[in-house]
């Protein structure tokens, strides 16, 4: 179970609110860690839920933080939007200690959100969720014409790709010329 | 776009979750997308055993299937809709929802049809061959050539007046053709001329419905890898004599004993039928001579107390059952080829003479009998 509160970028985030973990409390007290995304909202997540993320699991496995230390050192994921991180945390909590079902129907339907979720999940190395997300991205274009696929996945046309490539070459040429000029200047 | 910003593994996982049809449609979106498909889906394409073009002569249309080899076998060998990836049809102006795609440099009209959203490619009369060629070139480009490409006649034995099989010239394709020898093809010159203008065929199924003259012994017809001929009404010419392929099956009314003896004699000499693997001749009438034929061909016999090996190879006559074998037969009789000492089992079963060549010398063959 996670709880969130608007945090700050300081090392000591605001106290997050905590909801009951579950009706049946675990016998051994569970350790918790704290994460935040671009929006600095801190999420309290149990170590069990975080096991889904190979990245975070690797980070925490040797830390041996106390509750206070964990609270004082939330993991910053500045490259992940707050709402996306919230989705990830929710998913990890929902699937904590449970076998993952073959399908997940609770993924975002909005394509932009889904695309961002894929990037976040891939970064956090959450294998099962990545599989669901990739399936969902694939399903978005099922039975669509190539033009519809282009629109949905926002794929550039060949002409756009060629123009972008030309532009990149031009830029690289300019940069190389700049470096040569700078080197010549240095030599003088 | 997002997908190109994803790491390669994520791109691959997304594409892995798409079926063949969606991958095919995606390949038309852009050159970069096609490149991504080709690099990330190599394994998928290598696991495809065949891409089959099934051509229906009645409608002049082809359906393209990727048979799913994992599906359990059923008694019905016909292709199933789940394996259909593309339909190539005559343009129908009554329909709407067309969109155009550039397929290997040719602009072709398409539609997505039905619940499965099967892509349908359309052609106008004379453009049929060029449309099919462009599509085939696109397949070769995207799917590669690790799989077999097969052009197959469907429902070929339904009579259709004045019909000539349509065989588009396609790279890396095996042709499986069914024909009825009647009408203008009853004149063997017309038939021979059709065969000589066609690519070398993998399989011919021939239903002989008219009296015909023997074909030129040098005809390309005899170079076909496998031929099955059914002559239910006439005593056709001896199609076996000049055969140079691997499998031949004859279902005929009558067959001359002397021709059968001659066939085995010439095989034994090593001068003819060097490529032959399997043949059978089923004789409907006057077939009593088969009871003595094994002695007359000079067969040797395995010790009667020993179990002879069963002969069966992958059958090549029915292209809808490519994974099946020939009807297994067991015989104590065998003959040996003088030139290389290879053995062929010879046997009689259900009014048919069976002949199966082993890739074993007599010594090796007798060793497996021990």
* Binary contact (B32, A161; C-beta < 8 A): yes
Query: Does residue A181 fall inside a structural domain?
Result: no
Instruction: Identify all chain A residues contacting B16, using CB atoms and an 8 Å cutoff.
Output: 134
Query: Does residue A88 fall inside a structural domain?
Result: yes
Q: How many domains does chain A have?
A: 1
CA distance B194 to B28: 36
CA distance A137 to B10: 11
The answer to whether B291 faces chain A, any CB pair under 8 Å, is no
Assembly ipTM: 0.85
* Residues shown for chain B: 370
Q: Which of B2, B17, B26 sits opposite A149 (nearest CB)?
A: B26
Contact B172, B141 (CB under 8 A): no
Q: Tens digit of pLDDT for each residue in A135-149?
A: 999 999 999 999 999
Contact A34, A68 (CB under 8 A): no
pLDDT of residue A179: 80
* Binary contact (B30, A156; C-beta < 8 A): yes
- Separation in Å, CA of B119 to nearest CA in chain A: 9
pLDDT cut 90: percent of chain A above it: 48
**Among B45-59, B232-246, B347-361, whose mean pLDDT is lowest?**
B232-246
Report, in this order, helix, strand and coil percent for chain B, each rounded to 5: 30, 30, 40
Instruction: Tell me phi and psi for residue B196, to 5 degrees.
Output: -70, -25
* Binary contact (A141, B26; C-beta < 8 A): yes
* Binary contact (B10, A156; C-beta < 8 A): no
H or E segment at B342? strand B342-349
Q: What's the half-sphere exposure (Cβ side, CA atoms, 13 Å) at B187? A: 7
> Per CB distance under 8 Å, which residues of A are interface residues toward B?
115, 118-119, 122, 130-131, 134-135, 137-139, 141-147, 149-150, 153-158, 161
Q: Which two tokens stand for residue A151?
A: 């629109």
- Which DSSP string do the residues of B7-39 spell out, in sequence order? -HHHHHHHHHTS-HHHHHHHTTT-HHHHHHHHH
Between positions 75 and 114 of B, the ones with CB within 8 A of A are: 99, 101, 110, 112
CATH code at position A125: 3.30.710.10
Does the pLDDT value for residue B227 go beyond 90?
yes
Report, in this order, helix, strand and coil percent for chain A, each rounded to 5: 50, 5, 40
Q: Which residue of chain B is at minimal alpha-carbon distance from A158?
A: B30
* Binary contact (B32, A139; C-beta < 8 A): no
* Binary contact (B10, A149; C-beta < 8 A): no
Instruction: Identify all chain B residues contacting A139, using CB atoms and an 8 Å cutoff.
Output: 17
* Binary contact (A118, B110; C-beta < 8 A): no
CA distance B178 to B228: 9
Does the pLDDT value for residue A124 go beyond 70?
yes
* Binary contact (A134, B7; C-beta < 8 A): no
Contact B184, B194 (CB under 8 A): no
Contact B13, A164 (CB under 8 A): no
Mutation to test the B interface, candidates A84, A138, A152, most B Cβ within 10 Å: A138
pLDDT of residue A107: 80
Q: Which residue of chain B is at minimal alpha-carbon distance from A145?
A: B25
Average pLDDT of the residues in B43-56: 96
* Binary contact (B25, A146; C-beta < 8 A): yes
* Parallel, antiparallel or unpaired: strands B278-283 and B352-361: antiparallel
Query: Does residue A109 fall inside a structural domain?
Result: yes
Q: Which residues does residue B154 pair with via DSSP β-bridges, in sequence order?
A: B56
pLDDT of residue A188: 64
Does the pLDDT value for residue B284 go beyond 70?
yes
What domain range is A70 assigned to? Answer: 4-20+27-155
* Binary contact (A138, B14; C-beta < 8 A): yes
CA distance B144 to B166: 24
Instruction: Identify all chain A residues contacting B28, using CB atoms and an 8 Å cutoff.
Output: 146
Query: Does residue A186 fall inside a structural domain?
Result: no
- Which DSSP string do the residues of B128-166 spell out, in sequence order? HHHHHHHHHHHHHHHH-SSSEEEEEEESTTS--TT----
Q: Which residues does residue B108 pair with via DSSP β-bridges, in sequence order?
A: B101
* Binary contact (A146, B29; C-beta < 8 A): yes
pLDDT of residue B99: 95
* Binary contact (A119, B5; C-beta < 8 A): yes
Q: Tens digit of pLDDT for each residue in A75-87?
A: 999 999 999 999 9
CA–chain centroid gap for B242, Å, is: 20
Quote the longest CA-to-CA distance of chain A: 77
Q: Which of A135, A145, A150 sits opposite B112 (nearest CB)?
A: A145
Q: Tens digit of pLDDT for each residue in B152-197?
A: 998 888 877 777 889 999 999 999 999 998 888 888 899 999 999 9
Q: Which residues does residue A35 pair with via DSSP β-bridges, in sequence order?
A: A43, A75
Q: Which two tokens stand for residue B114?
A: 């039905």
H or E segment at B53? strand B50-56
């Amino acid at each position: 179970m996670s709880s969130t509160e608007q945090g700050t970028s300081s090392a000591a985030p605001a106290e997050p609110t905590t909801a009951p973990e579950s009706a049946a409390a675990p016998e051994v007290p569970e350790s918790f860690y704290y994460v935040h995304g671009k929006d600095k909202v801190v999420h309290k997540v149990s170590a069990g839920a975080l096991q889904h993320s190979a990245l975070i699991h690797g980070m925490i496995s040797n830390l041996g933080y106390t509750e206070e230390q964990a609270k004082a050192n939330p993991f910053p994921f500045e490259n992940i939007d707050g709402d996306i991180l919230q989705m990830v945390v929710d998913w990890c909590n929902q699937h904590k200690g449970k076998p993952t079902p073959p399908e997940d129907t609770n993924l975002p339907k909005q394509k932009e959100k889904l695309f961002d979720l894929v990037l976040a999940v891939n970064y956090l190395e959450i294998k099962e969720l990545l599989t669901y997300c990739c399936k969902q991205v694939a399903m978005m274009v099922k039975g669509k014409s190539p033009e519809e696929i282009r629109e949905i996945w926002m794929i550039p046309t060949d002409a756009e790709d060629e123009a972008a490539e030309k532009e990149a070459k031009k830029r690289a040429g300019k940069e190389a010329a700049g470096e040569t000029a700078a080197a010549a200047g240095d030599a003088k | 776009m997002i997908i190109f910003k994803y790491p390669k593994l994520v791109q691959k996982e997304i594409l892995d979750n798409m079926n063949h049809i969606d991958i095919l449609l995606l390949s038309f979106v852009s050159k970069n997308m096609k490149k991504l498909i080709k690099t990330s889906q190599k394994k998928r394409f290598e696991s495809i055993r065949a891409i089959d073009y099934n051509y229906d002569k009645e409608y002049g249309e082809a359906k393209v299937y990727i048979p799913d080899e994992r599906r359990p076998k059923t008694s019905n060998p016909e292709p199933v809709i789940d394996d259909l990836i593309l339909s190539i049809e005559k343009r129908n102006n009554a329909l709407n929802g067309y969109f155009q795609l550039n397929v290997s440099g040719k602009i072709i009209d398409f539609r997505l049809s039905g619940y499965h959203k099967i892509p349908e490619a359309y052609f106008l009369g004379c453009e049929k061959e060029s449309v099919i060629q462009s599509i085939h070139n696109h397949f070769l480009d995207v799917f590669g050539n690790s799989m077999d490409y097969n052009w197959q006649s469907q429902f070929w034995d339904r009579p259709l007046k004045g019909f000539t099989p349509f065989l588009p010239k396609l790279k890396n394709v095996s042709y499986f053709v069914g024909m009825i020898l009647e009408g203008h093809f009853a004149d063997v010159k017309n038939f021979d001329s059709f065969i000589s203008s066609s690519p070398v065929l993998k399989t011919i199924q021939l239903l002989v419905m008219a009296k015909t003259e023997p074909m030129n012994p040098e005809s390309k017809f005899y170079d076909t890898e496998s031929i099955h001929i059914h002559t239910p009404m006439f005593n056709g010419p001896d199609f076996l004599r000049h055969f140079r392929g691997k499998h031949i099956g004859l279902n005929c009314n009558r067959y001359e004993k002397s021709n059968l003896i001659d066939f085995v004699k010439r095989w034994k000499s090593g001068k003819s039928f060097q490529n032959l693997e399997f043949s059978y001749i089923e004789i409907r009438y006057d077939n009593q001579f088969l009871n003595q034929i094994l002695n007359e061909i000079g067969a040797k016999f395995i010790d009667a107390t020993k179990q002879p090996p069963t002969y069966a190879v992958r059958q090549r006559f029915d292209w809808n059952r490519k994974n099946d074998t020939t009807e297994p037969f067991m015989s104590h009789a065998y003959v040996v080829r003088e030139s290389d000492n290879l053995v062929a089992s010879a046997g009689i079963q259900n009014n048919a003479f069976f002949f199966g060549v082993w890739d074993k010398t007599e010594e090796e063959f007798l060793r497996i009998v021990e």
